[in-house]
Amino acid sequence: MDTPPPSASQPAAPPEIALCLELGRAFQAFGIPAHRFEDALARISARLGLDGQFFALPTAFFASLSKGEHHWTFIQRSPSGDVNLAKLSDLQETTDALIEGRLTAAEARERVREILATPDRWGARLTVLCFGLGSAPAAMFFGGGWREMALTALLGSLVGLTAVLLGRKAGPSRLVYPVAGALVGFLALVAAYRFPHVSPQVLTLAGLIVLLPGLRLVVSMNELATGNLVAGTARLVDTAMTFLSLGFGVALGQRLAAPLLDRALQGTPLPLPAWTLLPTLLLAAVAFVVIFKARPSDLPGIFAACALAFYGTRYGAALLGPQFGVGLGAFALGLGSNLYTRISHGPSVVTLLPGLMVLVPGGLGFKGLEFIIQKQVVMGLDTAFQALFVAIALLTGLLLAHAAVQPRTAL
């Protein structure tokens, strides 16, 4: 969107303002948290000789910019887009180059347009496949065995296919969560009926793990903790609506499957040996590279982040208990991500997001919602409270890591 034409009493806005607005829309398209969004744009506007103040929301932002005696105010709508770590890394490099004076405003604006116009690195077929490969390790993390992993890979691929087909247009994209939830809820019960040793709960949680909004939950609490109350509250409500949509879909799928079953299902999974953990984490890292549209060169960092998160949480749980163990795992993940940022000069979210998929409290939160739907209200509220406690411990670990090692990049 170009800068609007001047009125009779308002001079033409300088091109630096158009660059600020374009960067703001790009930041929002990739879901940058409000505090980082505002800080990055404030630094950019200062570099361009502008006095800027910004107020970010999840789907819009206000910009108040002035130069000399002239003042301009804008409101920009930009709905949050899909995660694209490769484009976010390119945007990070462009932003740092602009702030450091290695790019002019015109060169930076042209570069931003090229980044946004570049097609996605990975195709739809590979993305669908990696939804399955990314879901299978979650079955193991939830205590499942090879049967759960194989079945979850199929369910995850169906979830990926649903996300790709319905996500192409704005209207049907809103149906991704309830439709995917219904598919997984139905097929998890059918699979558990066919294979008695398979746990339907593990299949359901692992099959939907990629769609669970654990990152949004952590980002919203981070925004609340940093004083961005409006943005944090709006994102938290959006997270709750996603949980409700998934829960409704799963309940519908299970209700449709119930008449086809003649017995209660409560399979006991057979866990895999310990030596399979590292290969499973590597499989998850490869899948996350594709699902989150990262660069192939980011694979070592993503694998290291997943391993740090998993083993940090495991040893933390042994020392402090499961809830505080997640905080220790988040601290290790945050330290590693900030060190990665200092070395590679890329955004910390490249390693932070895949690592959070291993730490994410979304599974607990969704399980609590499932209990409530099944009218086990006390158990559901207890599980949901545990998920909230885990999210707070996770956020505390990340904040401590940020205080210990601060990244040098803008995003």
pLDDT at site 362:
46
CB 362 within 8 A of CB 388: no
Listed as ranges, residues in the chain with pLDDT below 50 are: 1, 362-363
pLDDT at site 62:
93
pLDDT at site 236:
86
Per-residue pLDDT reduced to its tens digit, 200-217: 888 888 898 888 876 777
Separation between Cα atoms, residue 108 and residue 102, nearest integer Å: 9
For the chain, what are the domain ranges? 15-117, 122-211+239-272, 294-411
CB 122 within 8 A of CB 291: no
- Residues 219, 224, 230, CA angle at the centre, nearest 5°? 100
CA distances to 41, 341, 360 from 411, rounded to whole Å, are: 10, 10, 22
Separation between Cα atoms, residue 38 and residue 46, nearest integer Å: 12
For residue 377 the two structure tokens come to 């209200």
